[in-house]
């Protein structure tokens, strides 16, 4: 699933390899998918995009935003994006395929769920999109210790668990259930710990590792559990993920555990992250 590091990686790769390409043809909704969400009628995407030039791409929280001469393509966290060379076969199943005049193509497919939105710039009214564009990214200087303290001091936060605080409510767009595992491990905080139980030093540590862990993930082209624009896994080796569950903790040697919690899985070390 796309989270902040992957959104940044995909946007950087799009800017390096796709920016400036001219759209020749658009095929939308070829393979029906119950949880592939489009903006309006996907059959109108071709008329909106054909002949336009791909402009700048940016990571917006857990979304990838691509400009194209007054139109916007926006892909949400459940979408797989792949760039194909002129001689590579196109996938037989996809929810969106964009062919360029140079013979390359961009495909987008949905596994569980995902949004593939195309709309005139400025026309999408979506809370998650607007928050992702307006709230400071943890990768920026605007995500300061003062700003983080303001988030912590919101009235509803003290009663939340660490996972709920980080991954719900769009408090930090792009920080989801995937990246929070290593963040909490590096901060030595159990995902079920209540925010009100954290000492000031633990809150300060949490702020620091949000910044450093997400930067390490982004600098390494995403996590090794996810794939980039070319189908390659990210270079950041996750400490806590499906890849490491049931293996010894790299710090204390205790076995990394996996549990269901708040609608998803959490991974933690019972030695380093005591509850």
Residue 125 has pLDDT above 90, yes or no: no
3-state secondary structure 87-140: CCCCCCCCCEEEEECCCCEEEEEECCCEEEEEEECCCCCCHHHHHHHHCCCCCC
CA dist 35 and 266 (Å) reads 24
Domains 4-134 and 145-268 in one fold: no
Q: What is the model's pLDDT at position 122?
A: 86
Handedness of CA 203, 205, 208, 213 (dihedral sign): negative
**196-237 residue pLDDT tens:** 999 999 999 999 999 999 999 999 999 999 999 999 999 999
Average pLDDT on 153-177 reads 96
Range 145-268: architecture per CATH:
Orthogonal Bundle (1.10)
Residue 255: CB partners within 8 Å, gap ≥ 6?
246, 247, 248, 249, 270
pLDDT confidence of residue 268: 97
3-class state of residue 80 by DSSP: strand
**What mean pLDDT comes out for the span 165-177?**
95
Give the whole-angstrom CA distance, residue 38 versus residue 52: 20
**Structure confidence at residue 248 as a pLDDT band (50, 70, 90):** very high
Q: In what order do the strands lie in the sheet with 57-60?
A: 36-38, 114-120, 71-75, 63-68, 57-60
Q: Are 117 and 73 in contact (CB under 8 A)?
A: yes
How far apart are alpha carbons 206 and 216 in whole angstroms?
Answer: 15
Per-domain residue ranges for the chain? 4-134, 145-268
Dihedral sign (CA 6, 7, 8, 13): positive
| 252-270 per-position pLDDT tens digit | 999 999 999 998 999 999 9
**Segment 155-173 mean pLDDT:** 96
> In this prediction, what percent of the chain has a pLDDT beyond 90?
96
* Alpha-carbon span 72 to 65, nearest angstrom: 7
Q: Which residues pair with 135 in a beta bridge?
A: none
The tens digit of pLDDT for each residue in 32-54 reads: 999 999 999 999 999 999 999 99
Give the model confidence (pLDDT) of 140-153 as tens digits: 999 999 999 999 99
C-alpha separations of 7 from 12, 78, 102, 124, 244 in Å: 9, 11, 25, 19, 23
d(CA 177, CA 159): 19
pTM equals: 0.95
- Whole-number pLDDT of residue 178: 96
pLDDT at 215: 98
The CATH superfamily label for domain 4-134 reads: MutM-like, N-terminal (3.20.190.10)
262: β partners = none
Are 71 and 52 a contacting pair, CB within 8 Å? yes
- pLDDT, position 123: 85
Please state at what angle helix 200-219 crosses helix 180-187, rounded to 10 degrees.
Answer: 130
Q: Residue 15: phi, psi to the nearest 5? A: -65, -35
Using DSSP bridges, classify how beta strands 36-38 and 114-120 pair: parallel, antiparallel or unpaired. Answer: parallel
Residue whose tokens read 């013979």: 103
């Amino acid at each position: 699933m796309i989270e902040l590091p992957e959104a940044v990686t995909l946007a950087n790769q799009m800017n390096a390899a796709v920016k400036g390409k001219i759209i020749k043809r658009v095929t939308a909704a070829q393979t029906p998918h119950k949880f592939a969400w489009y903006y309006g009628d996907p059959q109108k995407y071709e008329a909106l995009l054909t002949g336009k030039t791909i402009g700048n791409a940016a990571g917006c929280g857990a979304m990838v935003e691509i400009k194209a001469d007054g139109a916007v393509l926006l892909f949400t966290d459940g979408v797989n994006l792949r760039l194909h060379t002129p001689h590579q076969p196109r996938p037989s199943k996809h929810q969106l395929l964009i062919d360029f005049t140079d013979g390359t193509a961009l495909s987008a497919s949905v596994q569980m769920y995902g949004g593939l939105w195309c709309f005139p710039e400025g026309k999408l009214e979506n809370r998650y999109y607007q928050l992702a564009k307006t709230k400071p990214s943890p990768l920026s200087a605007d995500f300061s210790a003062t700003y983080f303290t303001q988030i912590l001091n919101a009235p509803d936060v003290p009663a939340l668990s660490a996972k709920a605080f980080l991954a719900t409510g769009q408090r930090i767009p792009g920080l989801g259930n995937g990246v929070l595992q290593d963040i909490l491990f590096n901060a030595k905080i159990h995902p079920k710990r209540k925010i009100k139980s954290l000492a000031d030093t633990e809150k300060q540590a949490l702020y620091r590792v949000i910044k450093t862990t997400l930067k390490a993930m982004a600098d390494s082209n995403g996590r090794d559990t996810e794939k980039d624009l070319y189908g390659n896994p990210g270079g950041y080796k996750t400490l806590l993920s499906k890849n490491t569950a049931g293996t010894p903790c790299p710090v204390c040697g205790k076995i990394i555990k996996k549990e269901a919690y708040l609608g998803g899985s959490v991974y933690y070390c019972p030695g380093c992250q005591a509850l």
